[in-house]
Amino acid sequence: MRRTPKRPARVIPLFELEVAVFKDQQLESVETPLDTVAHADKARHEIERDHIFRFFRLNLEPREVEYHWQRLLLHQARFPTARGHKIDLRTAAFDYFLNETDLLVDPLVMEREALRQTELMAYFDHLTGLHNYAYFESEIKTEVARAKRYDTSLCLLLVDLDDFKLVNDTLGHRAGNEVLREVGRILHKRLRSSDLISRFGGDEFAALLHRTDAEDGQRVADSLCESIDQQLRAGKLGQLERPVTASLGMSALPNQAEDEVQLFELADKALYRAKRAGGNRAVFA
């Protein structure tokens, strides 16, 4: 006896989904970003949803909350991503409610200040005080366009700590956090205020050096390598079986790369070579 194949779930166009929500229609098998999340993650998403709507002080009916939550997740997914990172939900919420809806047409002064603080928090890493990946990704496109327009050079440095896991395993996560803060301080101190410095997450950092060619970029990277090696040997870190050092991968525009995508790709390959060579070194693409 032949079985009738199960009809695949229909992906409902966004416009049709909007109409259905506001007309209380039932759509069968509507696939949304939340449907792809495991059950445990759904609970986390619900908590995040409640926090978002409480913060923006939106007094909405449950069906309207669900509608805007699904729209927010879709809005978040539309932001360009790289290196496996996803834009922070708070950043997406700030942009969505302010620019994609009329729910905050005339927010109170206090709410505007709160939103400004949220935007700042969304673009900074709370542990090191450096910019985060979301901010770096948005700014590097602007900087590349500016460098092309004025015919200037840019150098991208990707920094990855060597044997960082050993710190967490041996001395604990608090010591690991202090190492990350110290690396952030070194980068902030050794680089110029005009350079774009960021922590990507984990033990990965990046810096975009303005008006810096390949030769100058190599000197800066070598100096950073030496500073990190020296600074991370003090105190309890000196007890580690292997010292915590850093590997750096670099690329430059216009020397090697033509845009931000190539800058990342080439610097990432150079970083891989630095790691393979034993770490504690800077390698140019």
Residue 224 and residue 159 in contact, taking contact as beta carbons nearer than 8 Å: yes
Catalytic residue among 125, 160, 162, 203: 203
Instruction: Return d(Cα 253, Cα 153) in angstroms, integer.
Output: 5
Residue 213 is among the residues annotated as catalytic for this protein: no
Instruction: Return d(Cα 180, Cα 125) in angstroms, integer.
Output: 11
User: Closest Cα to residue 100, out of 130, 67, 122?
Assistant: 67
In DSSP terms, which residues pair with 204 in a beta bridge?
160, 201
**How far is Cα of residue 273 from the mean position of the Cα atoms in its chain?**
24
Which is it for strands 245-253 and 204-210: parallel, antiparallel or unpaired? unpaired
Instruction: Return d(Cα 200, Cα 130) in angstroms, integer.
Output: 10
**Which residues contact residue 161 at a Cβ distance below 8 angstroms, ignoring those fewer than 6 apart?**
179, 183, 203, 228, 244, 245, 246, 247
Q: Which residues carry out catalysis?
A: 203
